[in-house]
A = this chain, B = another copy of it.
Amino acid sequence: MAVRVNGRAADTIAVADRGLAYGDGIFRTVELLDGVPRLWRWHWQRFAADCAQLALPLPDEGLMLAELAHAAEGLPRAVAKLTLTRGVGARGYAMALDVTPTLVVTASPWAGYPAELAADGVRARWCALRLARQPRLAGAKHLNRLENVFARSEWSDPDIREGLLLDSEGWVVEGTMMNLVLVSGGRVLTPVLDACGVSGALRAWLADWLPTQGLVLEEVRLSPDDVLAADEVWLVNSLAGVWPVVRLDERCWQAFPLARRAQAALASA
């Protein structure tokens, strides 16, 4: 694994970094082909939004792309992770006015998901953990991810690929690592992420692609019953693509006409 920290080869960060101390930072995971990130426009859009939400200085986009290319050198297909923290700070929670952020870029040879998962579909489950509602942090892919850790640790059956999460009020939010999309009566629905959840790059791509099909991605409140009543259920993220859900507990789905169109469009995106 190639690791670069603030533009130099290094695989450690300071113990005093606020990323470790408080989870004070953000991250994104990106697929690279010959050093060029796929779906960059949407990754960058989300990354910039997260920087604004967390009051982190936005790095230069060209620098980020150069760092990604550098880290992935020699790898025809790679998965990269970008982490940006509020850097080394004095003791105490308050943000300093003069922040020198820490940018960590790692790249590894692609070890993504088998293509069959998108082709054949996946099984999912409901998680017992309920996401807390925190509007101040909702949508951002920040480094406070203990809820995801506990939710993902609820099951070990490798045939179950994802767990769906409700918030403390019982609304459906997302999977532990993927956004959720429903096709229901001709509409395309995804949970509104104003109280919790991560607004992913592929969700952003879908919001841009659907209008080319005469559709829109509607952000709405969804109950578990809405999920069970849907015509198609998808799990999406930028590394996995669009996974049709073929089984959720006892409910099964077989046909995914719109998911197939999205997968085809994504292949050439």
Contacts and interface: CB of A to CB of B under 8 A. Distances in A.
Residue in A22, A133, A153 with the greatest tally of chain B CB atoms within 10 Å: A22
A212 interface: no
Contacts of A144: 22-23, 144-146
A129 interface: yes
B145 A21 contact: yes
A63 interface: no
A153 B23 contact: no
A146 B22 contact: yes
A204 interface: no
A21 B15 contact: no
Interface in A100-139: 104, 106, 129, 131-134, 136-137
A267 interface: no
A24 interface: yes
Interface string A145-156: 111111111001
Interface in A1-51: 1, 3, 5, 10-24, 27
The number of chain A residues touching the other chain, given as a range, is 35 or more
Contacts of A54: 146
A269 interface: no
Interface string A82-94: 0101100001111
Residue in A1, A3, A13 with the greatest tally of chain B CB atoms within 10 Å: A13
A145 B21 CA distance: 8
A20 B143 contact: yes
Contacts of A83: 15, 20-21
A147 B152 contact: no
A12 B3 CA distance: 14
Contacts of A147: 134, 136-137
A149 B95 contact: yes
Contacts of A3: 15
Contacts of A15: 3, 5, 10-13, 83, 104, 106
Contact of A146 (B10, B137, B151, B176): B137
Contacts of A93: 145, 148-149, 151-153, 176-177
29 contacts: A3-B15, A10-B15, A15-B104, A15-B106, A17-B20, A19-B20, A20-B20, A20-B85, A20-B104, A20-B143, A21-B27, A21-B83, A21-B143, A22-B144, A22-B146, A23-B143, A23-B144, A23-B146, A24-B149, A93-B145, A93-B151, A93-B152, A94-B149, A94-B153, A132-B137, A133-B133, A134-B168, A137-B146, A144-B145
